[in-house]
Structure 1
Amino acid sequence: MLTDYHSHLEKGTLTIDYLKQFVDTAKEKGIQEFGISEHAYHFYETKNIVSKPWMEERRYYKMDDYVNLFKRADQLGMDVRMSIEMDYTPGRHAEMEAFIKAYPFDYVIGSVHWVDDFGIDLAEYRKEWDRRDLYETYRSYYDQIVTLAESNLFDIVGHIDLVKIFKYVPTDQEFLFEQYERITNALQNSKTCVEISSAGLRKPVGRIYPEPELLSLCYKKGIPIVLSSDAHEPHQVGENYEASIKLAKEIGYTKLMTFKDGERKEVQLG
């Protein structure tokens, strides 16, 4: 069994024809469990959860249209899961929970893309890395990963070490290991799985999320995994999966978590 639970329609349209391009690519690549997880900030219904000027310029969907797209896909016999990628927002747990419960998601991804008003993975903010304290940024980023896991609101944590995207990485390995220890301790006590994301291989860092040392801690602490590509275009579905599968198996993983209708089931890793 292979999964790809992290993908986005945002570069196209919320239409069956565009969705089908993603689903067809998943089938061609032997991915049995495929899901769309559109960014929550695109939807008007999340304005009370997170609102930044950068997001407001990109808020143009309605949740009813999103839900109806998947209903139509189901009527057509299209096998695709409905998810959302929520920007984890400290202090908005009640609002995030209400939103998640309001819609029939098969699973929900929680991710950290912002440290205060710093969009850590956005090209527009890249120069900020040279203006800020690297260790403070990393600590603040992982503070949010900890509370994301502790909230127990999410089924999957997206690209858990996204903070490395532009190759700004602390040289102090002890510091990094401390961060890895505390986030895996939090994940160990939550329902949240970790995704092995091949997306990092097409980013400036050129490395899978997460780092092998972090994934090894996840394995030792019994934290389940899923496979994802973070595809933003149909051809990116299942991209570089050979490397992700190789890493998972080298670490010791033999199983994946799958999701449907909010229920989870562990299956053999293909």
Structure 2
Amino acid sequence: MKFDLHTHHDRCGHASGKIDDYISAAIRAGMQVIGISDHSPYFAHEHDQPQPGIAMARSDFPNYVAEVLRLKDKYRDKIEVLLGVESDFYVDQIDLYRSSYEPYPFDYIIGSVHQTRGVSIFNRNRWNGKETEEQIEEKKHYYELIRQSAHSGLFQVLGHIDAMKGYFPLFSNITGAEEEIDEALKAVAANDISIEINTSGKTKYCGGWYPSDVILERAHHFGVDVTFGSDAHVPDRVGEDWELVQKRLREIGFSRWVFFRQKQKVVVSL
């Protein structure tokens, strides 16, 4: 069974195509399950859409849900469409985000740390001038937030858990945060959720999937479940590298991966 839980569309402001286009692309790719998971609004901001090029307007969120549910019904005989969302994780706003999602029948919610200390993890300049100890502290802090997101009880999937390497490939070589990475992975296992293998990393400077093989090996060691997400921002990337990821997971030692339906884990053999 082929599935992809991580896709975006033009509503977020930095992806191309309509939701319908991504579903059609999934059908062409021979997928049985496609998840729609556009970026959550900034629920805590005073403005309805403070960053139009990053996330949808707060007022548009009900429309997003309604459109996915309509398409779920439209395509029910061709492919299973899942209602998801990629949610930001802010420690001090978790209750607001929780209550904002509560009214809707999400199949799953992806929790992603996109900012630390108020700076985007993809900011190309955030590492400028940082000495080794500062780099280690930043990496520790990042994985501490990921650990907290796993324990929040809000998410079924944790998104791209080493995406800080996206525009700073040397991130993977920063040593000294191994304990924090392990604690984050233990939290995922303890809460019976999953991490994603996200193939969009190949479109960034790092040129590889999220997370690295080293982290996937640690995840396997701790009994962490994994899922698949292309993080497609154009329809043609839906399901990209699915077979290659499947092969690599088998090589590491995984025997299964999962997706979520009505927030319940569906196990698929590798």
TM-score band w.r.t. shorter chain: 0.7 to 0.9
Matched to 2:109, the amino acid is V
Partner of 1:39: 39
Partner of 1:24: 24
Q: Taking every aligned residue pair, what percent have the same amino acid on both sides? A: 27
5 Å-filtered alignment, 1:170-189, equals: 171-173=173-175, 175-189=176-190
Tell me how far apart the structure 2 counterparts of residues 161 and 56 of structure 1 sit (CA, whole Å).
26
On the 8 A contact 2:136/2:177 being kept in 1, the answer is no
Residue 233 of structure 1: how far off its partner (Å): 0.8
List gaps (5 residues or longer) in structure 2.
none
Shift of 1:76: 1.6
User: Structure 2: how far apart are the matches of 1:87 and 1:178?
Assistant: 24
> For residues 116 and 89 of structure 1, do their structure 2 counterparts lie closer, same or farther at Cα, with a shift above 3 Å needed?
same
Query: Corresponding residue for 2:104?
Result: 103
Any runs of at least 4 consecutive aligned residues in structure 1 with deviations exceeding 6 A, and if so which?
Answer: none
Question: Structure 2-normalised TM-score?
Answer: 0.87
Residue 171 (structure 2) aligned to one of 159, 169, 181: 169
Shift, 1:170, TM fit = 5.7
State the partner residue of 1:71. 69
Alignment of 1:190-269 (within 5 A): 190-269=191-270
| Mapped partners of 2:96, 2:147: distance in 1 | 19
Which amino acid letter does the alignment assign opposite residue 61 of structure 2? M
Query: Alignment length, in residue pairs?
Result: 255
Q: Kindly tell me: are residues 206 and 170 of structure 1, through their superposed partners in 2, closer, same or farther at Cα, counting changes over 3 Å?
A: closer
Quick check: 1:9 aligned with 2:5? Answer: no
- 1:89 matched to 2:85? The reply is no
Which letter does structure 2 place at the counterpart of 1:110?
A: G
Look up the SS of the partner of 1:129 in the other structure: coil
Q: Distance in 1 between matches of 2:32 and 2:112?
A: 24
Superposed CA deviations along residues 86-110 of structure 1, whole A, max 9, x for unmatched, are: 1111122221221222211110000
Amino acid at match of 1:157: L
Whether 1:56 aligns to 2:50 is yes
In the TM superposition, what is the alpha-carbon distance from 1:52 to its structure 2 partner? 9.5
| Cα pair 1:37 1:82 within 8 Å, conserved | yes
> 2:152 — aligned with what?
151
Whole-angstrom CA distance in 2 between matches of 1:111 and 1:141: 11
Unaligned runs of 5+ in 1: none
Normalized against structure 1, the TM-score is what? Answer: 0.87
Mapped to 2, the partners of 1:131 and 1:52 lie a distance apart of: 33
Aligned-residue CA RMSD in angstroms?
Answer: 2.2
- Secondary structure of the corresponding residue to residue 62 of structure 1: helix
Supply the distance in 2 between the matched residues of 1:182 and 1:19 (Cα, whole angstroms).
36
Q: Match for 2:23: what amino acid?
A: V
Give 1:244's aligned amino acid: V
